[in-house]
C-alpha cells in the first residue's frame, strides 16, 4: 500500500467513537427561541410561510415559554406585533404595549429561568415597515438615497430600550442597523436606571432574501427594501468594522445574521473579539428546510441539526433559531 497508515476511518467506526471525538457539541443550552406575540387576537395565528411558528396571544405565549423553559432552553427573543401601526412606530415604546406587557407576564411565569431578550426595532410598529423614521424625500431624490433618518431613529430606539428595560428584559437586541444605535441605547438604559440590562447587538446584519417569511410573521409589507441600512452581502471586511464599532459602543454580545450565508463572518468574528458571539438562523433558512422536507426532498430534522451544528462549528457561542424547540425535543429524546 502506498498511502500512510493514518486511517481516519478508525475513529468514525462506531457511534460511540464518533460521539467521543466530536469537536462540536450542540446542546439545548446553545439555543435561543425567537417568539412572536400579537396584540388583538384571541387565538394563536399560524405563520403560513413558517410551519410550526405562530403569532401568539399573550396567553399562548406564556404556555409556549413554559414548555421551552421545561425543555431547558436558556433564552428567548421576543418580537411584538401591535394592534395598530403608525408612522413613527409608537407602539414600540408604549409601556403598556405588546412586548413590555408580555415580558412582565413571562417573568411571572418563569422568573429568571430563561434569559428574556426583546428585539429592539420599529419595523413591526411602523405603517411603512421601515426600521426607523422616514426622511422627507426631496424632489428627485434617488431610490438609493437613505429613506430612514438615522439620528432621529436613535432617539426612538432609546425610548424603546427604556420601555423594554423597565418591563424586565435581560437583554435588548437592536436589529435596525442604524449607525450609533448601541451607544444611544446603552446611554438611555443607564440614564433610566437600567444598567443591568445588556445589549445583544445585531452587529453584522446583511440585507437578505432570507428575511422573507419573517415579514409574514410580523405582518410587515415594506415599501422598497432595507439596502440603505443593512449590509451588502458582497462585503466581508465591512462586517468586521460593524462588529468592532458595536464592541466599542458597549455591546455585551455581538450577533451575526443570516447564519448559513455568513459562516465566514462568524468564524472571523469569533477569533477577533472576546465577547460572546451569537448567530441568527433566520426565517428563510428555517422555511427552506421545512419546505423541502414537506416535499419529501430531504430529511428535515437531520438538515436542521446539521445546519445549526455547522453554525456552532463556525464559532457561534449560541444560535437563535426557529428550530429551538424541535431540536431541544430531539436532543432530549
Which range of residues in 64-72, 89-97, 117-125, 237-245 is near ligand PBG by CB under 6 A?
A: 117-125
Helices 237-248 and 263-272: angle between axes, nearest 10 degrees? 40
First to last CA, the chain: 44
Annotated catalytic residue: which of 85, 257, 290, 312? Answer: 257
Size of the site for ligand PBG (CB under 6 A): 10
The closest alpha carbon to 104, from 158, 29, 147, 168, belongs to 168
Compute CA distances 315 → 186, 211, 241, 257, 279, whole Å: 26, 22, 18, 13, 9
318 touching ligand PBG, by CB under 6 A? no
The least CB distance from residue 182 to ligand PBG, in Å, is: 15
Could you say which of 90, 283, 307, 321 contacts ligand PBG (CB under 6 A)?
283
**Which of 109/216 has CB closer to ligand PBG?**
216
Binders in 167-186 for ligand PBG, by CB under 6 A: 175
44-63 residues in contact with ligand PBG (CB under 6 A) are none
Return the residue of 31, 35, 247, 282 that touches ligand PBG, per CB under 6 A: 282
CB–CB of 206/153 below 8 Å? no
Nearest by Cα to 313 from 89, 24, 78:
24
Cα 58 to Cα 318: distance, rounded to the nearest angstrom? 26
Choice among 85, 205, 290, 312 that is catalytic? 205
Name the residue nearer to ligand PBG (CB basis): 21 or 84. 84
> Residue 6 CB, nearest distance to ligand PBG (Å)?
43
Binding mask 211-230 for ligand PBG (x = CB under 6 A): x--x-----------x----
Helix H segments across the chain?
15-21, 58-71, 98-110, 150-167, 181-191, 212-217, 237-248, 263-272, 283-294, 300-314, 324-332
Sign for the pseudo-dihedral over CA of 289, 292, 293, 297 = negative
Which listed residue (30, 39, 88, 123) binds ligand PBG by CB under 6 A?
123
| Minimum distance of ligand PBG from residue 215's CB (angstroms) | 7
Integer angstrom CA distances of residue 213 from 6, 28, 291, 304, 330? 47, 25, 12, 17, 24
Q: Is 257 a catalytic residue?
A: yes
Burial class (CB in 10 A: 0-12, 13-18, 19+), 118: buried
Longest dimension (CA), the chain: 76
**Measured from the CB of residue 15, what is the shortest distance to ligand PBG in angstroms?**
33
Can 205 be counted among the known catalytic residues? yes
Task: State the minimum distance, in angstroms, from the CB of residue 13 to ligand PBG.
Answer: 39
Question: Contact region for ligand PBG (CB under 6 A) — 103-111, 115-123, 288-296, 304-312?
Answer: 115-123
Q: Provide the binding-site residues for ligand PBG, judged by CB under 6 A.
A: 119, 121, 123, 131, 175, 211, 214, 226, 282-283
Which residues are known catalytic residues?
A: 205, 257
Amino acid at each position: 500500500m502506498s498511502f500512510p497508515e493514518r486511517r481516519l476511518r478508525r475513529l468514525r467506526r462506531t457511534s460511540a467513537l464518533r460521539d467521543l471525538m466530536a469537536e462540536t457539541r450542540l446542546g439545548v443550552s446553545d439555543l435561543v427561541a425567537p417568539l412572536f406575540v400579537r396584540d388583538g387576537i384571541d387565538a394563536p395565528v399560524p405563520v403560513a410561510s413558517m410551519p410550526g411558528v405562530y403569532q401568539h396571544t399573550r396567553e399562548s405565549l406564556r404556555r409556549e415559554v413554559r414548555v421551552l423553559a421545561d425543555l431547558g432552553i436558556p433564552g428567548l427573543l421576543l418580537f411584538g406585533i401591535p394592534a395598530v401601526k403608525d408612522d413613527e412606530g409608537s407602539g414600540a415604546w408604549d409601556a403598556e404595549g405588546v412586548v413590555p406587557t408580555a415580558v412582565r407576564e413571562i417573568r411571572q411565569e418563569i422568573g429568571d429561568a430563561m434569559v428574556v431578550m426583546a428585539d429592539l426595532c420599529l419595523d413591526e410598529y411602523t405603517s411603512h415597515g421601515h426600521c426607523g423614521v422616514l426622511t422627507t424625500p426631496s424632489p428627485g431624490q434617488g431610490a438609493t438615497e437613505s429613506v430612514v433618518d438615522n439620528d432621529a431613529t436613535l432617539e426612538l430606539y432609546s425610548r424603546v430600550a427604556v420601555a423594554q428595560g423597565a418591563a424586565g428584559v435581560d437583554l435588548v437586541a437592536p436589529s435596525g442597523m442604524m449607525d450609533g444605535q448601541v451607544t444611544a441605547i446603552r446611554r438611555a438604559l443607564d440614564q433610566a436606571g437600567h444598567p443591568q440590562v445588556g445589549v445583544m447587538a445585531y452587529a453584522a446584519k446583511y440585507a437578505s432574501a432570507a428575511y422573507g417569511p419573517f415579514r409574514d410573521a410580523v405582518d410587515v409589507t415594506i415599501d422598497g427594501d432595507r439596502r440603505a441600512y443593512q449590509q451588502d452581502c458582497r462585503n466581508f471586511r465591512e462586517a468586521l468594522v460593524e462588529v468592532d464599532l458595536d464592541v466599542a459602543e458597549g455591546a455585551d454580545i455581538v450577533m451575526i445574521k443570516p447564519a448559513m450565508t455568513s459562516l465566514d463572518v462568524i468564524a472571523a468574528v469569533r477569533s477577533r473579539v472576546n465577547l460572546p458571539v451569537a448567530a441568527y438562523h433566520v426565517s428563510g433558512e428555517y422555511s427552506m428546510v421545512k419546505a423541502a422536507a414537506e416535499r419529501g426532498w430531504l430529511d428535515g430534522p437531520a438538515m436542521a441539526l446539521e445546519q445549526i451544528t455547522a453554525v456552532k462549528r463556525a464559532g457561534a457561542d449560541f444560535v437563535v433559531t426557529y428550530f429551538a424547540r424541535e431540536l431541544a425535543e430531539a436532543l432530549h429524546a
